[in-house]
Structure 1
Amino acid sequence: MRIVLASQSPARLATLRSAGIEPEVIVSGVDEDLITSTDAGNLAAALAQLKCRAVAERLGDDDALVIGCDSVLALDGEILGKPDGPADASARWRRMRGRSGVLHTGHCVRRGGEEFLETASTIVHFAQVTDAEIDAYVATGEPLHVAGAFTIDGLGGAFVSGIEGDHHNVVGLSLPLLRLLVGDLGIAWTDLWRQTN
């Protein structure tokens, strides 16, 4: 079976690989500004679905399993995707430090005409980092390319003091949820281990 990840995220790819799944990566190229919502969970799901469908339509392979994901952070009701630049990332960290937000990741799986969509949510507690730490972190460029301007599996991991929920979800792809979704498609999770394209 052809397994396709509709995401350019190195972290999502690494998560799947560490779980024994070797997907092909095809970036959707969709304009994320086409989707708007005031609900972070709904926005993450809609973006994941848009990416998954775009790649599935491009493939035209009814046997392929396509996996689409997208993440957003909600902080005090505000939806935070990728920052607009270094100044935005620094300002976000100054607001987030010592506080908690909710990271929502939409997951969409599609095979043939069947599609399943769900969102996983994890509470993220941010450490009380200093201005100097924020400036140094933003200078690395890492927070400029990820939802919420942080990673848990990279340099930003030291600035996350705890989570409540699935840590894979904070990386960008919830393995427990994905297992359930592919099961809904009639695919055994263990059949995906070390499949090659």
Structure 2
Amino acid sequence: MTPRLILASASTARTKLLSDAGIAHTVRVSDVDEDAATAAAGPLTPSDTALLLARAKAEAVGCVTQGGDDALVVGCDSIFEFNGEPYGKPWEADAARERWQLMRGRSGVLHTGHWLISTHDGESTGHGEVTSAVVHFEDVTDAEIDAYVATGEPLQVAGGFTIDGLAGAFITGVEGDPHTVVGLSISTLRRLLAKTGVSITDFWS
């Protein structure tokens, strides 16, 4: 009997990505305090931060799911690295605008951490992996940046941009798995599932 797959994320882009790939799943959002989790861990690289938060989200949902429920829980988190510095969600319009003024015509690296928890027999085991992709940006104008920020899209996404939304017009290329930039690498999920003895094809709906 194949366990059910739970996505521990509020990201509509991640759940759409899974659905478009034919992967049956349910969503259960974690209540992880990301700022507290990273502060407790101390200095980390952007890549390590993405993996830490992905693990925290998966384990938080995995703990709730335990107790006889046979499930696989995948947590994800994305961090954008630009000039060696980590950037999460801008939240504020001014921050998003300033970030785009720095990024335009240049490149950065989007890191997505993945952590998979198995709750089989009430025991939790985990496997993790980070995938990274280089993102190249157009030399967009101030007017284009203002128009994009005004849509509200960049405020609540890692790095202040999406590849599968409006900002796709401002991205000239991606080196690496483009799903990484969306926030969940399907091929990485396949490898993590295989470590638990489950095939991704078992979830094709």
Q: CA RMSD in A?
A: 1.0
1:100 is matched with 107
> 1:33 Cα deviation (Å)?
0.3
Of 154, 158, 164, the residue aligned with 1:153 is 164
2:56 is matched with 50
Output one character per residue of 1:13-59: Cα deviation in whole Å (capped at 9) or x when no partner: 01100111121111101100023343000000000000000001011
Of 173, 178, 191, the residue aligned with 2:184 is 173
Superposed structure 1 runs of 4+ greater than 2 Å apart: 35-38
Q: Is the 8 A contact 1:35 1:43 kept in 2?
A: no
1:84 is matched with 91
Rounded to whole Å, the distance in 2 between the matches of 1:84 and 1:171 is 18
1:66 is matched with 73
- Helix, strand or coil for the counterpart of 1:119? strand
1:40 is matched with 46
What is the identity, as a one-letter code, of the residue corresponding to 1:182? L
**TM value normalised by structure 2:** 0.92
> 1:62 Cα deviation (Å)?
4.8
The alignment status of 1:114 with 2:121, answered yes or no, reads: no
- Aligned residue-pair number: 194
Q: Is the 8 A contact 2:91 2:156 kept in 1?
A: no
What is the identity, as a one-letter code, of the residue corresponding to 1:111? S
- Please list every run of 5 or more consecutive structure 2 residues that lacks an aligned counterpart in the other structure: none
- Helix, strand or coil for the counterpart of 1:70? strand
Q: Which segment is superposed worse, 110-119 or 71-80?
A: 110-119
**TM value normalised by structure 1:** 0.96
Output one character per residue of 1:132-151: Cα deviation in whole Å (capped at 9) or x when no partner: 00000000000001000000
2:16 is matched with 14
Q: Is the 8 A contact 1:86 1:144 kept in 2?
A: yes
2:146 is matched with 135
What is the identity, as a one-letter code, of the residue corresponding to 2:6? V
Identical amino acids, percent of aligned pairs: 54
